[in-house]
Structures are given as C-alpha cells and as structure tokens.
Amino acid sequence: MILFYLIGSLLISTGLFFNRKTSINTLLVWIFIALQIGFTLFSFVNQDIEEAGYFNPDALSLLMTATLTIIAIPALLHRYDYIYQENDSPGQRGLYYGSMVIFIMALTAGYMASHIAVTWIFVEITTLSASALIFHRRNAGSIEATWKYIFVSSISLVFVFIGILLLSLSLGNQYQSGLQYVTLSHLAPSLSSFWLKLSFIFIFVGYTAKLGLVPMYTAGIDAKDKAPTPPAALLSSVLMNLGFVGIFRMYVITAHSAIHHWVNSIVMITALLSVFVAAVYMLKVKNIKRMLAYSSIEHMGIVMIGIAVGGIGYYAAILQLILHSFVKSSLFLQVGHLYKTFKTKEIYAIGNYFKYNPSGAIFLLLAFIGLAAIPPSGLFVSEFYLVIALIQQQYWLVVFILLLLLTIILWALGKNIFKMLFIPIDHVTAPLTTETNRFEIISQYVLLSLIVYLGFFPPEGFVSMIQTVIHSISY
C-alpha cells in the first residue's frame, strides 16, 4: 500500500503542476485528500506490518500520520485566493498545490520509515518541497527566507548524514545491512560508546532544524513568517513532528546502550536553552507569525524536557507534541483571517479584532487559552504531568527555571493577543474587511476542540498507542 500511496501522490502532484484549470486542480486536491485518509486508515488496520522492506506503521508513526491527516485537510482546503492574490498565474497555483502534496507525502513516508537512511531521504524531500512553498510569493522577503531555509536545512542534513555514516561504521562490515531501527536497538548494547555518542550528537543537532530546537532553530522562524498561512500551519506542527520522530528513533537506540544517561543530559540542556531562547524573543517580537514560531520553540523544548526526564514525562512529551500540533496549526490558519482583515502581520497594527470579526476573535481568545495551557486546554494535562515527572526525579532547579521562563512567555503572549483583541488601532492605513469563510473558521474550531478532547477525555486506543511508544524505549 505504501508504494501505491507514494506513486499516487507523485502522479497527483504532477497533474497539479502541469494542469492549468482550476476545476481540475480542485478535483485532484480532493483525490489526494481521499488517498491520504485511505492510507492512514489502512495503516491503522495493518499496524506493525512491514511494507516494501523500509516502512513500518508502528504506534509512533500512526499517531503522527493521523495528526498530519487531520491538519492537512483544512490546510489544503483553505482558500487560495487570500493566500496569494497579486500577480497570480495558473502555473504558480499548480506549483503551490503540487508542492503541498509532495510535502505531505514526504512527511507521511518519513514517519513510516523503518530505516534510518530512508528517514533522512524523506526529510530532504520535505526541505525541497517546503522551499517551493516558502518562495511562493516571490518577493524579496520570501527569497531571503527560502535561501536561509535551504542553507540551514542542508547543513543540518549533512550533519544527520555524517551521524548515519558514523553509526554505520560502528556496526562493522557484518551489520552494514542493519540500519533498520529495530536492528539498531538490538545491537545498541554492543556498540562502541564513543562512536554512538558521536553519531547521536550529529543526528540530534541535524534534526533540531526540523524540530525547532537550539542550535538549528533559526531556519524555521523566517520560513513560517514568509510562507503562506496553510503551509506555515504545516511547518509549525507536523514538520516539527518529523524532526521529533528522527530524534526520538535515535534516542530509542541510545536508550538500550550505556550512554542513555549522557544522552538525557544533552537533551535536557538543549531543551532548556530552547525555552530560554523562546522567552527572550517573545518579549520583543512584533510580528504575529514570528511570535507563534517562537512559541513553537518553547513547546518543542517542553517536549524534549519530558523525554529527558523519563517516567511519566514520556507520556507528557508525546501528548504535548500532538496537542501542540492541533492548536498551533489552527492559530496559523487564523492568521490568514487576521491578515485578510488588517492587511498586516505587525501586532501593533492589529487591534479591536472583536469589532471586525467576532467569530475569529473568539477563536483567537480560546486558542490563547489553549496555547497557554490554561484549563480546559489539554496542554495543561501534559505540562502538569511534566512537572510531576521533574519533581519525582528531583529536578528542582529545572522546575524553577522552566516555570520562570513559562511565566515570562505567558505574559508576553497574553500581552500581544489581548492587544490585538481589545485595543483599538490608532491609525488605520488600509480599508478593513469582515469577509470570512464559514468552513475555514469551523475547521479551526474543530482543531482547537481536539486539544480539550484528547487532553481530558483521551480514547483508550489513543492512550494505548502512546504507551506502546513509551514501551519501545525500555523493552
């Protein structure tokens, strides 16, 4: 089925790129949505059955793929006309939708990959397809953001490639065909600690460009700012999840070796530094998309702190990752409505949103509650579990630093959100519009409601799959 999915996605993308009729483009997008949903359901039915020798729908990949599919539907169906109106052409429209299909396909295959090199290949494909989306508006800002994203992502992928080579060398000639994740986990206790440490450092640093952690987080900030809002919604959620999958699968390998404690220390330090960086930039950011991008760095730091502390922190990390995907993607989609109303992304040029778009303003207020982890946000549950895990392991200094940084971030986020919602604009430089699309706002509310449902009323199957992911660390 995976080969059918990959070939089908490529054919649909090719059709979108070469076709010039809007009606056919719309039909092809709907066909891809049906293909994505069908493949996701098929993978759930055929869990842990290896396909094509390099793909395995395990619990982690299924959770990530389901999250991607749910978010991809509104991201694909949000109206093209408010994304890009000036100097539009059928070729640009086809490139946009074709790149979106390739991007989603690469994310899905990256989640499913059971071979470390195959994961790397599809991560590279996400870089290429994302670059086309970032460059979509073809202005000076998007050109700069695209080249910066390509440059940093390329360096990061070279790091990952070096890490894979080092890992391969540590296996010796006898195990050159053993770069499957399961095989590596079984062989980990017998591997040289020196080579394994070196390999982990390169792979971890490389994938931080996708996950959005220190030190390679910089590529994603400009990319999310300059990309149209639907692709930005994917960049800020499901692409970061792919970075997590790449790091987590390597983490599982090290968890079966003698360097597990050392790896936890590296992850903890990096995660805390990431939350610190997010707090500093959140205090001075003036662009709403950049504000949300820095918020993503904060949340990925929280996720990795959960991985480093272990215990119930593992559950908190996976739950935080999934819930963040839903709330952050819905917020980026709402930014499209804000931009349509105020013709700007600058926070201080946006105000009194309740007057111009009440349904959007209510959503923005609820999304702030969700992102700030205030009950009934499900992120409250994951962050509460995280603090409990830190206390159980007696990480008192980490608890103090984390809570201090989260307080700063909450204040900065709340100040900006409430300014946009309630404070009138001093100078209106462009005519304002209240025109919105009912489907789009409903889809945003649906994504937001999932963080309440999965946080406080998680289905038994959902919890069981997270526990299966956790079990892979300690089996």
Lowest mean pLDDT among 163-167, 169-173, 240-244, 306-310: 169-173
> What total number of domains does the chain contain?
2
Task: Name residue 177's amino acid.
Answer: S
pLDDT of residue 433: 59
For residues 350 and 453, what is the distance between their CA atoms, to the nearest angstrom?
A: 31
Residues paired with residue 55 on neighbouring β-strands, in sequence order: 51, 113
pLDDT of residue 85: 52
Confidence band for 474, pLDDT divided at 50, 70 and 90: confident
Q: How many CB atoms lie within 10 A of CB 143?
A: 14
Q: Are residues 237 and 303 in the same domain?
A: no
Q: How many CB atoms lie within 10 A of CB 59?
A: 19
Coil, helix or strand for 41?
helix
The token duo for 19 is: 């076709």
Rounded to 5 degrees, φ, ψ at 201 are: -60, -45
Q: Are residues 16 and 140 in the same domain?
A: yes
Decide if 474 contacts 255 (C-beta within 8 A): yes
For 97, 102, 227, 360, the CA distances from 137, given in Å and listed in that order, are: 14, 19, 8, 25
Q: Considering the chain, what percentage of its residues have pLDDT values greater than 70?
A: 94
* Confidence check: pLDDT of 430 > 80: no
Q: Are residues 76 and 111 in the same domain?
A: yes
The residue from 258, 292, 309 where one domain ends is 258
The residue from 258, 286, 302 where one domain ends is 258
Domain that holds residue 220: 1-258
Mean pLDDT on 368-372: 95
Q: Are residues 184 and 273 in the same domain?
A: no
Confidence band for 82, pLDDT divided at 50, 70 and 90: very low
Q: Are residues 247 and 283 in the same domain?
A: no
Decide if 306 contacts 386 (C-beta within 8 A): yes
Mean pLDDT on 81-98: 71
Handedness of CA 450, 452, 455, 460 (dihedral sign): negative
Q: Are residues 2 and 150 in the same domain?
A: yes
Q: Are residues 194 and 94 in the same domain?
A: yes
* Confidence check: pLDDT of 80 > 80: no
Q: How many CB atoms lie within 10 A of CB 265?
A: 11
Decide if 55 contacts 112 (C-beta within 8 A): yes
pLDDT digits (tens, 9 = 90+) for 247-269: 999 999 999 999 999 999 999 99
Confidence band for 84, pLDDT divided at 50, 70 and 90: very low
Q: Are residues 196 and 303 in the same domain?
A: no
Q: Are residues 86 and 149 in the same domain?
A: yes
The residue from 243, 258, 273 where one domain ends is 258
pLDDT digits (tens, 9 = 90+) for 206-239: 999 999 999 999 888 999 999 999 999 999 999 9
Q: Are residues 248 and 347 in the same domain?
A: no
Q: Are residues 248 and 270 in the same domain?
A: no
* pTM for this prediction: 0.94
pLDDT of residue 112: 96
Q: Considering the chain, what percentage of its residues have pLDDT values greater than 90?
A: 74
For residue 29, give every residue at least 6 positions away whose Cβ sits within 8 Å of its Cβ, in sequence order, or none: 16, 76, 77, 97, 101
Mean pLDDT on 97-105: 96
Higher-pLDDT residue of 413 and 432 is 413
Q: Are residues 76 and 113 in the same domain?
A: yes
Mean pLDDT for the chain?
91
pLDDT of residue 204: 97
* Confidence check: pLDDT of 33 > 90: yes
Half-sphere exposure of 162 (CA within 13 A, CB side): 14
Residue among 70, 368, 465 nearest 237 (CA)? 70
